[in-house]
A and B are shown apart, each in its own frame.
Chain A
């Protein structure tokens, strides 16, 4: 029987095309559900009695992630200082070290790396916490007490992420430039005045604004993906209970990282 003969049969075989089709439909369905989920949660940010919970989440997502973000930012700047110094030496352009470091950090590396670090630290926590609330029926308990679970659990986290991501990105950029100074100037002997002059002169407001726009978008994406994965972990077909929470957490972080990079490309292509 050829593949053409099978087309009219009652039970057509599962082909690669069928699998791709199913996967695509599932992906589109999930994206649609996530978009609705985000919209509802976003609208609920502006309801009353939210400020205290948003401040609390800014503390958990923002303040508590600052140390790891600063650490990663410092070492990223230091590595960039080393790599770019030896590259620029070959072209006799060591003076452009400040420009290279600041532009790569502010435009690309700052928003992306900061977002990935926050996703790994706070995003996994969001997914796991909401997942546990879900499987222990605490989400249902909120509903029975006439508390909208999306308003109470999701909206403050999304608001806090949108607030925290740009601030942490700014810290990342700043400490990254200082890291570049440590290696480029203090270790390898580039002129300090040249370094800071190049940083100041090469960075324009467009670069800074672009970095912040990315950070805002990454904040929304990471919080939405992580909360969505945790909130609907009970509907997973690949695991139940604690296993579902674990899988939801893994999916949240992996998906967030992938989506950060995809969104980075899309946003960059619009900004350039």
Chain B
């Protein structure tokens, strides 16, 4: 088995009477994103601070590259620390320095490069993180997202092998949260570092993490991949899954893609013995709609399709999400492919009688009575195997797609 890069062995940390970490054992492996999750106050940040040495354990040992930290000489520990960078939750940028000086600071203080070389390296990082225009500005003059990027640029300035992220998405809006997580994965690929992230933003972090560590009342409740976590059916994981409610695609009211993936993984984890699972892929050709009706009408059509899908399939246990701009995938647990086909056929009838009418009224409102446009709603049904990924299901269902509801120019709707 691979040797862990960092290992915690029975690490205990107390603050006064309170035991924050209680005999914590965990391993962090090279070139992986390890995410530590848990409720507030369970010691996630405390654990992270032990890795960099900001805190020291009261009991137990931290092993770095096979050697206990408490037995290292100062020079050895310094060499280890030189491989680690820490991204603070509040960025902790040096606020009296410009962006350039912040990024150059660790190089100026810890290397013997010439001033020109330091500036060149700092500017390179600034450029890579798309901060060129902000190089001369102070941190207080930047937006939260830009400050986060500056903090990342500073953390990466010394080419660390390990980057520790302390709640990088906390307090950010959904768009920025998504941007930060994408940034972590993007730069991890680009610069090839090992990442350890503390977060309680689930499920978002599940989709970028190779390994998950769940801290539960001061101890490690689980350590492994997300799929393993779901299969184990631990009460704490159920609690996390419950928190997924409310993760919705704002446009359609369906589940977000991330929440959909988690539901799908949970379903497979919990129903390994259930034979029949089916899926349906609905799509509407938005390009044609967009040309005919304009962008707002296209959005309305998609929203209507989402509403109908939810209304029809949620009560029978189905769950749906938009997987590309104009495709909606629905999973039917405990449903054979024949039953799924029947459900989709009934749904198509409903679409023809209600949804197309609604689309027609949207068109009239948008471009007047002389509207001439075609709408084709496609649907395809496929059988789901437990080993299928979501992309494979989409491919299978797409291959089965056929037109189930149509509105043609001048027909006035309700035509197939």
Per the bound structure, the CA–CA distance linking A146 and B88 in Å amounts to 15
Per the bound structure, the CA–CA distance linking A145 and B94 in Å amounts to 12
Query: Digit string of B157-188 for contact with A (CB within 8 Å is 1, else 0)?
Result: 01000000000000000000000000000000
List the A residue with the shortest CB-CB distance to B94.
A138
B49-108 residues with Cβ-Cβ distance < 8 A to A are 52-54, 78, 81-82, 84-86, 88, 90, 92-95, 105-106
By the criterion CB–CB under 8 Å, are B106 and A136 in contact?
no
Per the bound structure, the CA–CA distance linking A145 and B84 in Å amounts to 8
By the criterion CB–CB under 8 Å, are B109 and A140 in contact?
no
Per the bound structure, the CA–CA distance linking A267 and B67 in Å amounts to 52
By the criterion CB–CB under 8 Å, are B110 and A146 in contact?
yes
A122-174 residues with Cβ-Cβ distance < 8 A to B are 136-138, 140-141, 143-147, 152
Using known A-B contacts A137-B88, A140-B88, determine if residue A145 contacts B95 with beta carbons closer than 8 Å: no
Query: A148: shortest Cβ distance to chain B, in Å?
Result: 9
Query: B18: shortest Cβ distance to chain A, in Å?
Result: 16
By the criterion CB–CB under 8 Å, are A136 and B95 in contact?
yes
By the criterion CB–CB under 8 Å, are A145 and B109 in contact?
yes
A90 at the interface (CB under 8 A from B): no
Among A137, A138, A152, the residue within 8 A (CB) of B109 is: A152
Hey, which chain B residues are within 8 Å of A141, CB to CB?
86, 88, 92-94
B103-119 residues with Cβ-Cβ distance < 8 A to A are 105-106, 109-110
Hey, which chain B residues are within 8 Å of A144, CB to CB?
52, 54, 81, 84-86
By the criterion CB–CB under 8 Å, are A140 and B92 in contact?
yes
List the B residue with the shortest CB-CB distance to A145.
B106
List the B residue with the shortest CB-CB distance to A136.
B92
List the B residue with the shortest CB-CB distance to A140.
B54
Among A49, A137, A146, A152, the residue within 8 A (CB) of B92 is: A137
Hey, which chain A residues are within 8 Å of B93, CB to CB?
138, 141
Hey, which chain B residues are within 8 Å of A136, CB to CB?
90, 92, 95
Per the bound structure, the CA–CA distance linking A136 and B84 in Å amounts to 21
Query: B112: shortest Cβ distance to chain A, in Å?
Result: 10
Per the bound structure, the CA–CA distance linking A79 and B110 in Å amounts to 53
Per the bound structure, the CA–CA distance linking A144 and B293 in Å amounts to 56
Hey, which chain A residues are within 8 Å of B158, CB to CB?
145
Hey, which chain A residues are within 8 Å of B90, CB to CB?
136-137
B residues neighboring A (CB under 8 Å): 52-54, 78, 81-82, 84-86, 88, 90, 92-95, 105-106, 109-110, 154, 158
21 contacts across the A-B interface (CB closer than 8 A): A136-B95, A138-B93, A140-B92, A141-B88, A141-B93, A143-B52, A143-B53, A144-B52, A144-B84, A145-B85, A145-B105, A145-B106, A145-B109, A145-B110, A145-B154, A145-B158, A146-B82, A146-B106, A147-B105, A147-B109, A152-B109
